[in-house]
Amino acid sequence: MLKPNKRGISSYRELDLVAIPGGEVEIGSTLDEVQACIAIWQDRLVDPAYRPAFGDWIRKEYPRHRVRIAAFHIGRFPVTNQDYIDFAATTGHPIPESIVIGSPARHPVWGVDYDDALAYALWLGDEMGIHCRLPSEAEWECAARGPDHAEYPFGNSFDPARCNTMEGGVGTTTPVDHYPQGASGYGVLDMGGNVEEWTSSFYLPYPGGDRIDDDISSAVGARYRTLRGGSFALGGDLARSARRHGPHPAPQFRYRGFRVVVA
C-alpha cells in the first residue's frame, strides 16, 4: 500500500496496489474462443436486440496474440466515490452522477468520462509523488486474466454470484470489496461487473484482425477509448477478461468508472 506523502489525501482508503509481473503475455481470443463465446452467450444476452451484432462485437477480440508489457502496479479496487470526492474538493472538478445521486462512499464512482479519469490519475500521482496513469488494454486484460489466463477474472465459467452483472439482479453498484470470491488470479477485485472501466487504449483491430465498425463507432466515431469489465446494468458476456467495449451513449452504458496504474 502507498500512503499520501505530499499534501495528504483524506481518502476512504490508502492506495492499495497489486503487483503485476512484466513479460510477454497473451491477450485477445482465438477463433475457437470467439466461436465458443458466441455459442454460449448468443441466447443468453440480456437484450435480444443485441443478437444480430453480437458476433461482430466478439470478433473484436480476434486474434489472440502476444504482447510485451513492463511490470506495473494496478489498483486492487476501482476508484470509489469517496476517492473522487477528495479529488473534486481539491481541484474543483465537476461532480459525477454517482456522487450527485448519493451513491455510497465505498461504491465505485461512475458517470466519469475519459478526460475525468485521466485528470484524477494525474492529480493522484502529483499528490502522492508517484507516476500514476490509466491502464492500457493489455495491462487491464493481463491483470484480469491472472497467471492462469482465465476467461473471467474469477475463472473459466461465468458465475453471477461472483460479480455484479445484470444476471445477479442487484440492479445498482455494490461496494468495491463486495465480491472477494470474484478476485482475479493476481488478487485484483471488481474487474467483472459493477462499473465499466476506462483504459488508455484507442480501439484498433488486433494484429491480423479486421476492424469492426459497429453501433459504437456509428454513435461516437471511429476513434474511441476502450472500456473493459462490464457493469451491473449489462450482461455477463461483458465481464469476460477479453471483452472489448466502448463509450456507447445509450443510458444503460453510462456506468463508467476506472482504476489506476502506477508504473
CATH number at 204 reads: 3.90.1580.10
Name the strand (E) or helix (H) holding 53.
helix 51-59
Task: Classify the phi-psi angles of 23: left when phi > 0, otherwise alpha if psi is within -120 to 50, otherwise beta.
Answer: left
What span, in angstroms and rounded, lies between the C-alpha atoms of 170 and 183?
A: 19
Q: Which three cell numbers stand for residue 218?
A: 456509428
Mean pLDDT value across the chain: 94
State the CB neighbour count (10 A cutoff) for residue 61.
23
Number of structural domains the chain divides into: 1
Report DSSP state, residue 44: T
Task: Classify the phi-psi angles of 169: left when phi > 0, otherwise alpha if psi is within -120 to 50, otherwise beta.
Answer: left
Looking at the domain assignment, is residue 168 inside a domain?
yes
Looking at the domain assignment, is residue 10 inside a domain?
no
Confidence category of residue 122, pLDDT binned at 50, 70, 90: very high
By residue range, what is the domain housing residue 23? Answer: 17-262
What span, in angstroms and rounded, lies between the C-alpha atoms of 158 and 182?
A: 10
Q: Which three cell numbers stand for residue 157?
A: 465459467
Please state, in angstroms and as integers, the Cα–Cα distance from residue 62 to each residue in 28, 59, 206, 224, 232, following that order: 6, 5, 7, 18, 26
pLDDT in tens, 96-114: 999 999 999 999 999 999 9
Looking at the domain assignment, is residue 3 inside a domain?
no
Are 185 and 222 in contact by the 8 Å Cβ rule? The answer is no
pLDDT in tens, 206-257: 999 999 999 999 999 999 999 999 999 999 999 999 999 999 999 999 999 9
pLDDT in tens, 64-97: 999 999 999 999 999 999 999 999 999 999 999 9
Looking at the domain assignment, is residue 5 inside a domain?
no
Whole-prediction pTM: 0.95
What span, in angstroms and rounded, lies between the C-alpha atoms of 87 and 263?
A: 21
Name the strand (E) or helix (H) holding 228.
strand 225-228
Looking at the domain assignment, is residue 85 inside a domain?
yes
Looking at the domain assignment, is residue 246 inside a domain?
yes
Confidence category of residue 15, pLDDT binned at 50, 70, 90: confident
- Report phi then psi at 193, rounded to 5: 80, -170
- Predicted confidence at residue 7, as pLDDT, reads 44
Measured N-to-C along each axis, helices 31-41 and 51-59 cross at an angle, to the nearest 10 degrees, of 160
Are 131 and 262 in contact by the 8 Å Cβ rule? The answer is yes
